[in-house]
A and B are shown apart, each in its own frame.
Chain A
Amino acid sequence: MPDYALELSNLSRHFHLKNGAFKEPTLLKAVDGISLRIRPGETLGLVGESGCGKSTLAKMILGLLEPTDGDVLINDKARSASSRLSMARQLQPIFQDPYSSLNPRKTIEQIIRLPLQLHKEGNKESQKKAVKDISDLVGLPERLLKQYPGQLSGGQRQRVAIARALILKPKILVCDEPTSALDVSVQAQILNLLMDLKKELGLTYLFISHNLGVVEHLVDKVAVMYRGKIVEQGTRDEIFQNAQHPYTKALLSSVLTPEPALGLPEVLDSSAWDSAQAS
């Protein structure tokens, strides 16, 4: 077994934002020297304010975006050294939007089977059986396999996306806001599914979410990101019970649990953590 399922060392991605023809472009350090390690079978939650660089980081891990600097190691090997196809067997994404990520003109069966075809794995019969097995695993009724994405509910579509991500039996899933477009009852089903799959298949997750209640429920470790950098990381309890960084504290105090007696939290002044970061 590799030491780390996923290792990021000093990973950066900069964007040059144009300011018109005659002005210097502004440099945006969307991801700014991030190092992180996830052991096999571990779930790491990545949280932080909107625009702090979480999706940019996920895209670099998935090979959808080139880093400006630094390395991504998957199962102890440099991502750039392996081909796209072999990568797909180790690492798969699940994105927020189950609507736009499924081809509306293919049946559910075709959608889930496609990765096997691309990888020329097995024959038509064995592929069909694999699709049926994986659909059972994610709780997708067989009758839905002949239907089209437009005929499914949001939760069913997200199950299709998860089945498709699992069909090549990858060990690592990168989940970018996988439940934020879903209703709470569907969210609960998908979270239960992710936890069951982790137990059954020993999967490793990078789990990106704004919903700290969900993160606390699901993860072993947490990394808190602010303006392109990791400002704090630790085990679930270290972060949720004993956060040190002012931004982490602000984030936790903004979580609205369903307790009417508590009212709204005090609004904290961002200068506290801006200066903490500058120093």
Chain B
Amino acid sequence: MNRILDIKNLQVSLPTANGVLRAVRGIDLHVDKGEMLCIVGESGCGKSMTSMALMGLLPKRAEVTAEVLDFDGLDLLSLPKKERNKIRGMRMSMIFQEPMTSLNPSYTLGNQLCEAIMRHKGVSSAEAKERAVYLLTRAGVPMPEKRLDQYPHQLSGGLRQRVMIAMALMCEPDLIIADEPTTALDVTIQAQILRLIRELQQEFGTAVIFITHDLGVVARIADRVAVMYAGQVVETATAQELYSNPMHPYTRGLLNCIPIPGKTAPGSHLESIPGVVPSLIGELKGCAFANRCHVSTSECSQRTPSLELEPNSTSLHQVRCPITATTLQEAM
């Protein structure tokens, strides 16, 4: 099968002082081998919690359940800890927003690049270094041999992120999770880093889950997109389909908020989404977006919609909103 990752009804809950916070409330997702899946959504919607659950890096007090959490035929939830750690080191890796959180300031970059591959794959130090230099070169890091002896703080933010990308590729993983890897960088460096991730991904056939809240970035790199709201996926489609035919009122709202050069008249009033995200503490009745939605009816706050296949689309387009589906059918 072509699937590398299959998730059904993933839930993550965290105990807090005010009650149980349901950060992830039943996510269904899949990623094919070599595919770039972008996850997009507003702050606090559970993007990082989802990726931490996949990596097995959630805080201890978090409770994780899922009907299916399958990584290339392995059930991640029932896997013994040792096996899980091995997968994390070798077959799945992660790139964080701020590279300093995952780089150790007191070890050289060479040490950190080579550690996992030597430990997990029993590769010799010389071979590991050779691979590190190759990947640093591919990642556009100047003077790669010299970098092996440097420490993280001796590099600029852009260079550190390049090193992180090289590090994520050291063990030839099947899946990379990149959580806002370019948010802290300026636009020219962002474009370079995105190109690099895309090129390396295609060269090595790696699947990537790319998390961001920037719809411009998503449009330019995604094969497929999942839009998240309040701990759930509300819409998923190919990038082309999502941008030309957004269906969920939340997705449409997000796309209308951003001024687009050449399309939005400068100085014109921008649309925005009124109201705020509901609290994720305790049970949420009905559609989580109902209180901010301009097409919602009284039924929306009663019944929780499920993620349904959009019948009129040729590609796999799913939407968690019965209203858009009916309006569209009526329009036909």
Task: Knowing A188-B257, A212-B187, A260-B240, say if A183 contacts B213 (CB, 8 Å).
Answer: yes
Q: Is B264 an interface residue (CB 8 A)?
A: yes
Q: A50-B185, A254-B187, A255-B187 are in contact. Are A260 and B222 (CB under 8 A)?
A: yes
B261 at the interface (CB under 8 A from A): yes
A118 within 8 A of B: no
On chain A, the residues within 8 Å of B217 by CB distance are 256
- The answer to whether A267 and B191 touch (CB under 8 A), given A216-B266, A255-B261, is yes
A257 CA to B262 CA, complexed, in Å: 10
User: When the two chains form the complex, which single residue of B43, B185, B188, B266 contacts A183, counting CB atoms closer than 8 Å?
Assistant: B43
Which A residues from 180 to 194 make CB contacts under 8 A with B?
Answer: 183-189, 191-192
Tell me whether A87 is interfacial, beta carbon within 8 Å.
no
Among B219, B255, B276, point to the contact of A256 (Cβ < 8 A). Answer: B219
A155 nearest CB across to chain B (Å): 8
Q: How many residues of B contact A (CB 8 A)?
A: 47
Q: Which of B223-268 contact A (CB under 8 A)?
A: 239-240, 242-243, 253-255, 257-262, 264, 266-268
Contact: B213 with A184, CB < 8 Å? yes
Cβ-defined contact, A188 with B271, below 8 A: yes
Residues of A within 8 A of B198 (CB): 264
Residues of chain A lying within 8 A (CB to CB) of residue B261: 212-213, 216, 240, 255, 257
The answer, yes or no, to whether B216 is at the interface (CB within 8 Å) is: yes
- Pick from B239, B267, B271: contact of A260, CB under 8 Å: B239
Task: Annotate B257-288 by CB proximity to A: 1 below 8 A, 0 otherwise.
Answer: 11111101011111111001000000000000
Report how far A192 CA is from B269 CA in the complex, Å. 6
Contact assessment for A192 and B272 in the assembled complex, using a CB-CB cutoff below 8 Å: yes
A191 CA to B43 CA, complexed, in Å: 19
State whether B220 touches A263 (Cβ < 8 A): yes
B189 interface contact, C-beta 8 A? yes
Q: Chain B nearest CB: distance from A221 CB in Å?
A: 12
**Residues in A neighbouring B187, C-beta threshold 8 A:** 210, 212, 251, 254-256
Q: A49-B189, A188-B258 are in contact. List 16 more A-B contacts (CB 8 A).
A: A49-B188, A50-B157, A153-B276, A185-B42, A188-B270, A254-B190, A255-B216, A256-B191, A256-B194, A258-B215, A258-B216, A259-B243, A260-B219, A260-B242, A260-B243, A262-B220
- Which residues of A are in contact with B by a Cβ distance under 8 Å? 49-50, 153-154, 183-189, 191-192, 195, 210, 212-214, 216-218, 236, 240, 250-251, 254-265, 267-268
Which 10 pairs show the lowest CB-CB distances between chains A and B? A256-B216, A217-B259, A188-B272, A185-B273, A188-B270, A50-B186, A254-B187, A254-B191, A188-B257, A260-B239
